[in-house]
């Protein structure tokens, strides 16, 4: 009896071990479909046997063992410090590219794994749909390629087992992009992507196509507004093009999409030191034709003037670009030169350039041309643009040193014409330097006629800016320094009248009286 009990116990232990093995096998079979299931796609209603592929031979990836992504490698992960967000509530920084979204005119390619008869190229129709075999119309308007793949996969899941579908862009539609604000030619622009130019345009390329930015553009806050294919509210991105110029932050040059709108605002504060940098940028204001500006104030020829653009020669060894000349808008000094230069009493420290913004607001740029003469600060010789109004005021007081430096500067004409008439050695027009005083003009005409001239007093005739004539007597002192009373500075077309002395006048009057008698005595002598 005892022996039977022992045998029974051994039997139970053997049964338990077999049960454990069976349980292990069952668990293994239950998990087998997840790893060795058929991966081919087939029509559910065909009734054909699936072709089973052994996936056990394929390497298995443990995603837990993969190293974490280092976001520091992607500059778009951190916004640029110092860029203030725009007032809009939905504003993003220009930190990363956004996916391309489909629209009417796109040509896409669908690749359905192991179902070649349904793969192929399909156009996006006017209504934003694609017409696919078996599933019909699918709305893909405003969807990215990834989203389109997901939507199409769901449609084919009704007919295919776990469809694997990839979507690629074969030929994008022409892009229409609007540009407004401080650009030379605002409006709508169309960009056609071809095999020769497959990349999407950027902000700077569109600004260049629009003639470049104006010199009062706020390049730190260029805005790109993008719609989401009508499926969500618009998003505005901020592009800091100044960082692109100064820090080589290429990510600020946003890649554009169809329907984007670029707006270049007007800067609140104009920095003359930045104008040259902006004008010479690839997207700066370009000009190949004369511009019309107005110059008023202490200038010899006030009014409107056409100014030719300045040519820049880019000499390099790059083949086609060798010796290529590019033009930039003219500078302030060119406008002053076209107006025949400044007058002697011009206040070049407080020159104003009035410039009209895109919305009609007038901006004033304060320019100190004295710094150009004094320290060589060429940034004050600013770039001009069409429609500028230049105002050169009159100085309240100038020292003799300042007067001389201004006269020798490039803003003054090389020579002016004054007329010295009357009792001088060589009367007539005299070419003298600007700021020439009265005494030097008389000497330039050969000086006084010592036998006939009134060397004590002359008459000065000047034409005022308002068109009236100013006549005044000047008491001559050839040894005096420049002063308004006895030795004033002469201006363009001033007339100096040197009269006769008292004795010369009496002699000339007596000569007029006795000249007929002289004729009679001559006749009498001839007869007798």
Judge if 259 and 305 occupy the same domain.
Answer: no
Range of the domain at 133: 101-171
Q: Is residue 490 within 8 Å of residue 472, measured between CB atoms? A: no
The b-or-e profile of 391-412 (16+ CB within 10 A means b, else e) is bbbebeebeeebbebbbebebb
User: For 211-224, how does the pLDDT look when each residue is reduced to its tens digit (9 = 90+)?
Assistant: 899 889 999 999 99
> Would you say residue 13 lies in a domain?
no
Helix, strand or coil, per DSSP, at residue 225: strand
Q: Is residue 511 within 8 Å of residue 504, measured between CB atoms? A: no
User: For 329-368, how does the pLDDT look when each residue is reduced to its tens digit (9 = 90+)?
Assistant: 788 999 999 998 888 788 999 999 999 998 888 999 999 9
Judge if 245 and 341 occupy the same domain.
Answer: no
Average pLDDT over residues 243-251: 90
CB atoms within 10 A of CB 247: 11
Judge if 338 and 257 occupy the same domain.
Answer: no
Helix, strand or coil, per DSSP, at residue 242: helix
> Would you say residue 317 lies in a domain?
no
Judge if 392 and 304 occupy the same domain.
Answer: yes
At 315 the pLDDT is: 52
Judge if 297 and 399 occupy the same domain.
Answer: yes
Tokens of 178: 């609007």
Helix, strand or coil, per DSSP, at residue 71: helix
> Would you say residue 30 lies in a domain?
no
Of 217, 252, 218, 258, nearest in space to 237 by CA: 252
User: For 136-150, how does the pLDDT look when each residue is reduced to its tens digit (9 = 90+)?
Assistant: 899 998 888 999 999
CATH number of the domain that residue 143 is part of: 3.30.1950.10
Give how many domains the chain has, as a whole number. 4
Tokens of 430: 């005299």
Judge if 355 and 445 occupy the same domain.
Answer: no
Q: Model confidence at 312, in pLDDT bands (50, 70, 90)?
A: low
Average pLDDT over residues 494-518: 67
Confidence check: pLDDT of 303 > 90: yes
Lowest mean pLDDT among 109-118, 226-235, 260-269, 397-406: 226-235
> Would you say residue 233 lies in a domain?
yes
At 98 the pLDDT is: 67
Q: Model confidence at 87, in pLDDT bands (50, 70, 90)?
A: very low
Q: Is 161 exposed, middle or buried (0-12, 13-18, 19+ CB in 10 A)?
A: middle
Judge if 362 and 329 occupy the same domain.
Answer: yes
DSSP string over 123-172: E--TTSEEEETTTEEEE-TT-BHHHHHHHHHHHHTTTBSS--EEEEEEEP
Segment holding 473, helix H or strand E: strand 469-475
User: For 8-17, how does the pLDDT look when each residue is reduced to its tens digit (9 = 90+)?
Assistant: 455 555 555 5
**What's the rounded Cα separation, in Å, for the pair 17 and 7?**
16
At 47 the pLDDT is: 39
Judge if 379 and 395 occupy the same domain.
Answer: yes
Judge if 262 and 219 occupy the same domain.
Answer: yes
Judge if 440 and 486 occupy the same domain.
Answer: yes
Tokens of 364: 């004033």
Looking at residue 69, the DSSP 8-state letter turns out to be P
> Would you say residue 238 lies in a domain?
yes
Average pLDDT over residues 233-257: 89
Whole-number average pLDDT of the chain: 76
Tokens of 215: 């010199």
At 63 the pLDDT is: 31
Segment holding 235, helix H or strand E: strand 235-239
> Residue 234 contacts by C-beta under 8 Å, 6 or more apart in sequence?
90, 225, 226, 227, 228
* Residue carrying structure tokens 């420049």: 482
Q: Is residue 179 within 8 Å of residue 189, measured between CB atoms? A: yes
Looking at residue 39, the DSSP 8-state letter turns out to be -
> Would you say residue 155 lies in a domain?
yes
Judge if 196 and 219 occupy the same domain.
Answer: yes
Residue at a domain's end among 408, 430, 464: 408
At 314 the pLDDT is: 52
Average pLDDT over residues 415-423: 89
At 288 the pLDDT is: 75
> Would you say residue 379 lies in a domain?
yes
pTM flag (> 0.75): no
User: For 26-84, how does the pLDDT look when each residue is reduced to its tens digit (9 = 90+)?
Assistant: 444 444 443 333 333 343 443 333 333 443 343 443 333 434 333 333 333 333 333 33
Average pLDDT over residues 294-306: 92
**What's the rounded Cα separation, in Å, for the pair 224 and 258?**
12
At 232 the pLDDT is: 61
Residue at a domain's end among 386, 408, 430: 408
Confidence check: pLDDT of 225 > 80: yes
Judge if 198 and 251 occupy the same domain.
Answer: yes
* Residue carrying structure tokens 């075999």: 133
**What's the rounded Cα separation, in Å, for the pair 390 and 113?**
70
Q: How far apart are the first and last CA of the chain?
A: 204
Q: Is residue 493 within 8 Å of residue 475, measured between CB atoms? A: no
How wide is the angle at C-alpha 314 spanned by C-alphas 313 and 315, nearest 5°? 105
What length does the chain have? 528
At 458 the pLDDT is: 92
CATH number of the domain that residue 368 is part of: 3.10.560.10
User: For 359-401, how does the pLDDT look when each residue is reduced to its tens digit (9 = 90+)?
Assistant: 888 999 999 999 888 888 888 898 898 899 999 998 887 777 7
Residue at a domain's end among 225, 259, 279: 279
> Would you say residue 154 lies in a domain?
yes
At 171 the pLDDT is: 84
DSSP string over 329-344: --BHHHHHHHTT-B-T
């Amino acid at each position: 009896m005892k022996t039977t009990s022992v045998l029974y116990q051994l039997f139970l232990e053997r049964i338990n071990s077999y049960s454990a093995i069976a349980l292990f096998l069952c668990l293994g079979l239950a998990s087998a479909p997840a790893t060795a299931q058929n991966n081919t796609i087939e029509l559910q209603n065909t009734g054909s046997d699936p072709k089973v592929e052994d996936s056990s031979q394929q390497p298995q990836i443990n995603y837990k063992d993969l190293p974490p992504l280092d976001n520091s490698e992607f500059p778009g992960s951190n916004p640029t410090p110092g860029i203030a967000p725009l007032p809009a509530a939905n504003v993003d920084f220009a930190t990363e590219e956004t996916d391309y979204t489909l629209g009417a005119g796109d040509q896409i390619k669908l690749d359905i794994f192991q179902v070649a008869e349904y793969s192929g190229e399909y156009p996006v129709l006017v209504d934003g749909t694609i017409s696919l075999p078996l599933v019909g119309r699918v709305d893909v308007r405003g969807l990215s390629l990834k989203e389109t793949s997901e939507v199409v996969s769901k449609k084919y899941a009704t007919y295919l087992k776990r469809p694997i579908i990839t979507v690629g862009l074969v030929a994008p539609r022409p892009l229409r992009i609007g540009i407004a604000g401080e650009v030379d030619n605002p409006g709508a622009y169309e960009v056609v992507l071809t095999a020769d130019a497959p990349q999407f345009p950027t902000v700077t390329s569109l600004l260049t196509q629009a003639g470049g930015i104006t010199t009062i553009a706020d390049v730190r806050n260029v805005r790109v507004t993008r719609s989401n294919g009508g499926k969500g509210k618009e998003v505005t991105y901020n592009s800091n093009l100044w960082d692109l110029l100064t820090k080589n932050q290429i990510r600020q040059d946003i890649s554009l999409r169809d329907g984007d709108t670029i707006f270049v605002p007007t800067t609140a504060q104009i920095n003359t030191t930045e104008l040259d940098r902006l004008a010479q940028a690839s997207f700066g204001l370009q000009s190949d034709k004369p511009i019309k500006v107005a110059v008023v104030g202490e200038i010899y020829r006030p009014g409107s003037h056409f100014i030719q653009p300045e040519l820049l020669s880019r000499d390099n060894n790059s083949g086609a670009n060798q010796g290529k000349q590019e033009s930039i808008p003219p500078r302030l000094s060119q406008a002053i030169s076209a107006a025949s230069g400044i007058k002697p009493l011009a206040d070049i420290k407080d020159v104003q350039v009035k410039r009209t913004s895109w919305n009609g607001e007038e901006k004033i740029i304060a320019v100190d041309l004295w710094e150009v003469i004094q320290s060589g600060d060429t940034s004050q010789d600013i770039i001009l643009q069409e429609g500028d109004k230049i105002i050169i005021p009159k100085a309240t007081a100038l020292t003799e040193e300042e007067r001389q430096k201004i006269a020798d500067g490039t803003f003054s004409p090389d020579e002016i014409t004054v007329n010295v008439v009357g009792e001088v050695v060589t009367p007539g027009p005299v070419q003298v330097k600007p700021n020439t005083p009265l005494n030097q003009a008389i000497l330039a005409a050969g000086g006084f006629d010592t036998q006939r001239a009134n060397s004590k007093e002359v008459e000065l005739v000047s034409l005022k800016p308002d068109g009236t004539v100013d006549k005044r007597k000047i008491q001559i002192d050839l040894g005096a320094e420049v002063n308004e009373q006895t030795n004033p500075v002469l201006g363009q077309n001033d007339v100096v009248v040197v009269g006769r002395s008292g004795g010369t006048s009496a002699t000339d009057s007596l000569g007029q009286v006795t000249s007929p008698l002289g004729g009679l005595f001559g006749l009498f002598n001839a007869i007798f």
